[in-house]
Amino acid sequence: MGEHALILYNPTAGQASTVLPQLEAAAELWREASWRVELRPTQCAGDATVQAKRAATEGYSLVVAAGGDGTVNEVVSGLVGTEAALATLPCGTVNIWAREMGLPMDILQAARAYIEAERRTVDLGVCRERQPKLSKQKRRALKQKRAQAIAEGAVAGESLPELAITEQPSTLERHFLLMASAGFDAAVTSEVKSEEKKRFGAIAYVKQAFQTACRYRGVKTKLYIDGKRVRGRVLMVVIGNSQLYGGVIKFTAHALIDDGLLDVCVIKGRNLLIAPQRLLSVFTRVYNRKNEVRYYRAKQIEIRGKKKKKRLPVQVDGDYLGKTPMKFEVLPGAMVALVPQGCDETLWSKHGDRSVSGQRSEGIEFSPSSRSSL
């Protein structure tokens, strides 16, 4: 007996609204392979997470994200810690995860590739934003409200849990399968309108990148990589769980999706005039102090900056999230993915060489220098 699969498709992602017949053909192909398959549209932002989580509890063995990378991210958030596996059919603008898995960009061919796939455990990243602490005035008001309720006969900690929660800063949490980043690219992502993305696809990002590059400046930033402080004027920080960025560039070319670590590429500079030089370093995978592109591997990365001028925009799996300060952590083996035959085996820890520029893979810093300051 094959998989019990639920296909979730986003009718607004890329060309998804025009490829429903192809999705139905993919479902029929899987049924012929003895799979049980259902096809459902998502209703709104976040609905794929809700439906994926429900599917995992209802006994589905596979949830298929048929959409862009945003749809994949939502499905991932619903599958964290469950036995249901992730698969994807490329219906979006870039389809990074599908490309990482070596899938054809044709929906029916991608579906056929999954019939002989295997299940593998993969890591996830999680991004957390700590909200500012409440002011003394607000804390005082909450204490007065609590005292008044207690005086009226309530029992603290039992009948007033909402007050206990409110006294603590709230936390925004977002999982990512591919990568997160802070700086220039997140600024571009934040300014691309959904209508432009639907109409022009990847060209919308290229257009916005040129417009943003003219005015973007590096920001003096403090990073803590597994507790080790890294300082400098930063243009961009890419935190990768996988290798591909934007479907083209490999900022984190040495990342493995099952090693319990996140790879970090820090690009320093005052403005984007030095971008060609920095990109050359990325393409040639040379990281050192001279060209100010640094590479690290870590379990936890924190980007600080509370002052308005020092806060960096942040994106997660291609969606704008907010601004720093934020903390990024790896969740080892947090999810199961269906991996087709022919997938690039250098994505997995049991394959390939983990050295970078002659350095051993142990430790968090891949650089000829042992100093932590950029």
- Confidence grade of residue 153 (pLDDT, cut at 50, 70, 90): low
**Tokens coding 283:** 């393409």
Comparison of pLDDT for 265 and 198, the residue scoring more: 265
Listed residue (38, 84, 52, 48) closest to 68, CA to CA: 48
CA distance 244 to 240: 8
pLDDT of residue 10: 79
Name the 3-class secondary structure at 127: strand
Q: Decide: 114 and 338 in contact? Cβ < 8 Å.
A: yes
- pLDDT for residue 82 is more than 80: yes
Q: What are the tens digits of pLDDT across the range 114-137?
A: 999 999 999 999 999 865 555 667
CA distance 219 to 234: 5
CA distance 208 to 188: 6
DSSP string covering 163-175: HHHHTSPPEEEEE
Classify domain 4-116 by CATH architecture: 3-Layer(aba) Sandwich (3.40)
**Tokens coding 83:** 């036995």
DSSP string covering 187-199: HHHHH--HHHHHH
Q: What is the pTM of this model?
A: 0.79
| Helices of type H across 192-234 | 194-200, 202-213
Integer CA distances (angstroms), 114 to 65, 84, 122, 235, 334, in order: 13, 15, 17, 39, 21
Q: What end-to-end distance do the CA atoms of the chain give, in Å?
A: 55
- Confidence grade of residue 69 (pLDDT, cut at 50, 70, 90): confident
Q: Where are the domains of the chain?
A: 4-116, 133-168, 173-332+344-366
Neighbouring residues of 347: CB distance < 8 A, sequence distance ≥ 6: 100, 242, 243, 255, 256, 257
Comparison of pLDDT for 194 and 68, the residue scoring more: 68
Classify domain 173-332+344-366 by CATH architecture: Sandwich (2.60)
